[in-house]
């Protein structure tokens, strides 16, 4: 059975801090690893990673995948209160980008 584990489960920081969120996975047919941000309702897509060692970057957020060690990290630099959210890691196995196995999520709280 595919499994995705995120750590930490929750994190409280102050504005300006840098955070690293972790995601490890055990899957039989790896296709890609995805990161989503969920504030109040719909999770919004952040990154999709398919190749090892290639960093994806968007503003203050970046992510990288290690297919040998089966993990990914999401970095957020110079955090802002608007970064407060649940960050979800998911693995897309098999032939579909829609059949995702999600981790438990990391609840990030950024205080002013």
Partner 1 sequence: SQTIHQWPATLVQPVGSPLSLECTVEGTSNPNLYWYRQAAGRGLQLLFYSVGIGQISSEVPQNLSASRPQDRQFILSSKKLLLSDSGFYLCAWSADEPLHFGNGTRLTVT
For partner 1, the closer of residues 14 and 99 by Cβ is 99
Q: Rule CB under 8 A: is residue 96 a binding residue for partner 1?
A: yes
Query: Which positions from 56 through 85 interact with partner 1, judged by CB under 8 A?
Result: none
- Total of residues contacting partner 1 (CB under 8 A): 24
Is 27 a binding residue for partner 1 by CB under 8 A? The answer is no
Cα distances from 6 to residues 79, 87, 90, in angstroms, run: 19, 9, 10
Out of 27, 34, 52, 57, name the contact with partner 1 by CB under 8 A: 34
* HSE-up of residue 87 (Cα within 13 Å, Cβ side): 31
Exactly one of 43, 56, 74, 87 binds partner 1 (CB under 8 A); that residue is 43
Find the shortest distance in angstroms from Cβ 78 to partner 1. 26
C-beta of residue 12 within 8 angstroms of C-beta of residue 77: no
Cα gap 4→101, rounded to integer Å: 7
Rg for the chain, CA atoms, rounded? 13
Residue 103 near partner 1 by CB under 8 A: yes
- What is the rounded CA–CA span in Å between residue 73 and residue 78? 16
Q: Which positions touch partner 1 (CB under 8 A)?
A: 4, 6, 34, 41-45, 48, 86, 88, 90, 92, 96-105, 107
């Amino acid at each position: 059975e595919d499994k995705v584990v995120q750590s930490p489960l929750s994190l409280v920081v102050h504005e300006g801090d840098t955070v690293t969120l972790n995601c490890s996975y055990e899957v039989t047919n790896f296709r890609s690893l995805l990161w989503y941000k969920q504030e109040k309702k719909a999770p919004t897509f952040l990154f999709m990673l398919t190749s090892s060692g290639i960093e994806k970057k968007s503003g203050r957020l970046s992510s990288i995948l290690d297919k040998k060690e089966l993990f990914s990290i999401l970095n957020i630099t110079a955090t802002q209160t608007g970064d407060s959210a649940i960050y979800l890691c998911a693995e897309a196995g098999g032939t579909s980008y829609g059949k995702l196995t999600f981790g438990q999520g990391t609840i990030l709280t950024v205080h002013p």
